[in-house]
Amino acid sequence: MVGPTKVVPFTVSQSLLVCFTLLAWCLCCSSGTAQTNLALDRPAGASSFYSGAGGSFPPTNAVDGKLSTRWEASGGSFPQWLVVDLGRIYSLTSVRQTFYDSDTWYYKLEASNDNGVQIDATWTVLADHTAGITGRSFTDSVSGNFRYVRLYVTNANADWATSEELAAYGSTYTQIDNVVLPPVPIQTGNYIVGAQMCNLWADSVFWDTIVPYPHTYPLMGYYDEAKDISTDWQIKMAVDHGIAFFQSCWYRMADNAGQSPVLASYDQFINSIANTAKYRSDIKWTINWDDNTINGSYVTSVADFEDNLVPYWINNYFVKPNYYKIGNKPVMTIFDYEEFKNEVGGLSNAAAAISYFRQAAVNAGFAGLILITMNNVTTTQNNSDAKAEGFDYISSYNIPTFTELIASSCPTDTQILSEQETAWNNWKANSEVPSIVSASMGWNSAPWAEGSTFWRLTPSDYTSLLEEAQTAMAARKGLPSQMILLDNWNEFGEGHYIAPTAQYGYGYLDAIASIFSPGSDPVDLTPNISLIPQIAVSNTDPPTQLCGQIP
């Protein structure tokens, strides 16, 4: 193929082939009953796409139902991929792929529930034609319960990677129901307790790293985070112990920066709590956009932010009844205000983008926005840029590990308590942006090989930490006097989590209830793992010892 300018004249036989192909999109081959193409007009993204003198060939062309349009990669290099978000989990039965022309194609069809395009191991192979298959249109019988479908082209003789149409067929996946008991909320008065979250738990790639560390084993097992029953259990555990909202990390799909439509990665928990979980109305949730160039979640310009990300967040998240709002103002966190400033081209551009975001929210019917950002470097700077950009509040993800305060790689519990208190006091004294107290229970980077620091508070020491946090909150005004961000609900790979695990059970959640809802007596239920979809794990590596022990 010589790129987008190639023209293939149709013969009569080829025209008939196209007619029969179009008929195949609409009819079931075995019974003649109509099937629904689950990929039709769904959001699609790609590793690259050509746009130039010969025209534009974006990934959405591959799901528009037309064989007269196509996705085409930006050049003849391989591999290239096309991914389609079906919007929810389906029990897939077949996938039909039609290329631009007849050739020998080398490709595989894959599926996942987290769209981790940067890690091939997170994808399940549905059909493998990487040895080569000749023709133009191919239908494969497949099986499995998935939300994302990916065409992964490894070679194509003289052609570039293309797709005139990718169609997926199947039925709605039936979720397990009537297993989790209804949440029983406890009252926390004027306190608003939020739990930060790391949602990466829908495949074996991340769970495998946890296997060597038995203390970290969740009471829910190695649960499949994409499934509603897992979400419902987490909602119940949190609500029963005084947690009012989850703050989930949100990642833009790698290679999606600057493109439309926006596609997310690792948003399986968000999709469940926003749309399908049974108890989604019993808790609120918000997002913390990890705007980091390392994982490809970044923004390329003010225009990319305003035209792509802002409407995506408003239309897909803020409008949900259980998205966390205060006074009809959606609450959202942008992880790194310095990174954001750099990505959009400087401080004035960042301020303009935030101002646009606020007005867009008002135009959509909200009263405005409440925007939080993070300082994970030092507690002594004034955060003047965060103020100039237009953020309302500042907080942190893990203290004291992510600040300059940690005493050593193996600090004592006493040191950790003192260092977190110092962080809160420093923020109050130095930051030009009001600070929201965050409280961390531990750090263990061994599973993800991110260093040698290790510390973990016992539930008893965590109770003391929360008592100190209350004192720090009382010295603040407005929202920071009410809200606390707990770090972290389920960051198992970095050793900071309050979700029930093998070592301390519900200890951290009971501590939260005892401090923010004195006198409450929540029931600590142990889930029946046999009724929760599990991720198969296989890691047999020995654990890494830190501070003279297996953390």
- CATH code reported for the domain at 192-531: 3.20.20.80
> Coil, helix or strand for 361?
helix
What does the pLDDT read at residue 6?
A: 37
Q: Which two tokens stand for residue 121?
A: 């191991």
H or E element: which one contains 428? helix 413-430
Query: Which residue is associated with the tokens 């199947």?
Result: 170
Contact by Cβ (8 Å): 166, 39: yes
Residue 494: how many CB atoms within 10 A of its CB?
Answer: 22
Dump pLDDT digits (tens) for 81-98: 999 999 999 999 999 999
- CATH code reported for the domain at 3-11+21-172: 2.60.120.260
Whole-number mean pLDDT of the chain?
Answer: 92
* CATH 2.60.120.260, the chain: domain bounds: 3-11+21-172
What does the pLDDT read at residue 365?
A: 98
| pLDDT at residue 461 is higher than 70 | yes
Average pLDDT over residues 12-22: 41
Dump pLDDT digits (tens) for 355-390: 999 999 999 999 999 999 999 888 999 999 999 999
Nearest one of 423, 374, 386, 373 to 403, comparing CA atoms:
423
Contact by Cβ (8 Å): 147, 86: yes
DSSP state of 159: S
Average pLDDT over residues 39-55: 95
Residue 484: how many CB atoms within 10 A of its CB?
Answer: 25
pTM: 0.93
* CATH 3.20.20.80, the chain: domain bounds: 192-531
| pLDDT at residue 5 is higher than 50 | no
Dump pLDDT digits (tens) for 502-525: 999 999 999 999 999 999 999 999
Confidence of residue 17 (pLDDT cuts 50, 70, 90): very low
Q: Which two tokens stand for residue 19?
A: 């007619």
**Alpha-carbon gap, residue 549 to 356, rounded angstroms:** 51
**Alpha-carbon gap, residue 265 to 289, rounded angstroms:** 11
